[in-house]
Amino acid sequence: MHVESHFEASDTVRDIVIGMADGLTVPFALAAGLTGTVAATSKLVVIAGLAEIAAGSIAMGLGGYLAARTDRDHYESERARELRETIELPQKERDEVADVFRGFGMTEEHIGPVVDAISADRNRWVDFMMRFELGFEAPDPLRARNSAVTIAVSYILGGMVPLSSYMLLDNLQTALLASVAVTLLALFAFGYVKAKMTGISPFRGGLQTVVIGGLASAAAFGLARWIS
């Protein structure tokens, strides 16, 4: 039996990527930037890092929630407009349904019965127009909440990686080197798993994430050190 396997968690993966990528780079830059400054200690770096992780996870989670809510509100607004048009301009909407099937190469004799069948049920009619005329998929009603939680948790998990060495080591320079090592390793592992889930070369995905995340971390680190 032929069974098709498709990846169906792209929204969740996108949220994890957003949260984890920022979580790995921003706290690392803060901790690295504080290393070597006057009166800096491992305890100070950890406290500052934890405060940043808390604030960053809340801000990122809120951003994910608002983005998902905006998408849902937009969908509902467009659907209400399509529903209104099927009531006020039914023939125009029927013509638009027919145009969709003409785009697939169907003949006029076959289009008529299909249009009649679709327009016989108003909800099905509107759903069809939303998907095939406007290209909208019905959003998951829990998407905003799930997105906020996923991004926030991913940010926290990512942020704890570069900060962990400062929790375990007293020497700041040693902690910094350990933080660089574990952050790069985490970036590779993160990219590897993400690539494996999405069906591309895991090694290439891991290497790509290391390069991009490493450059972002280096740029943030350089800016933090320059400011400090």
Q: Determine contact, residues 161/105, Cβ cutoff 8 Å.
A: no
Q: How far apart are the first and last CA of the chain?
A: 63
pLDDT band at 156 (very low <50, low <70, confident <90, very high): very high
Give the separation between CA 86 and CA 92, rounded to whole angstroms. 8
Specify the long-range contacts of residues 189-195, CB closer than 8 Å, at least 24 apart.
190/20, 190/21, 190/24, 190/158, 194/13, 194/16, 194/17
CB atoms within 10 A of CB 157: 18
Q: Which of 189, 213, 183, 181 is nearest to 49 (CA)?
A: 183
User: Looking at the predicted structure, is the pLDDT value of residue 6 above 50?
Assistant: no
Least confident window among 33-42, 95-104, 209-218: 33-42
CB atoms within 10 A of CB 83: 17
Q: Supply the pLDDT for residue 27.
A: 86
pLDDT band at 2 (very low <50, low <70, confident <90, very high): very low
**DSSP designation for 89:** -
Phi first, then psi, for residue 164 (nearest 5°) are -60, -35
Q: Supply the pLDDT for residue 38.
A: 57
The string of pLDDT tens digits covering residues 69-127 is 998 998 999 999 989 988 888 889 888 888 888 888 888 888 888 888 888 888 888 98
Mean pLDDT of the chain: 84
Q: Considering the entire predicted model, what is its pTM?
A: 0.78
State percent of the chain over pLDDT 90.
20
Q: Supply the pLDDT for residue 1.
A: 53
Least confident window among 7-11, 39-43, 146-150, 172-176: 7-11
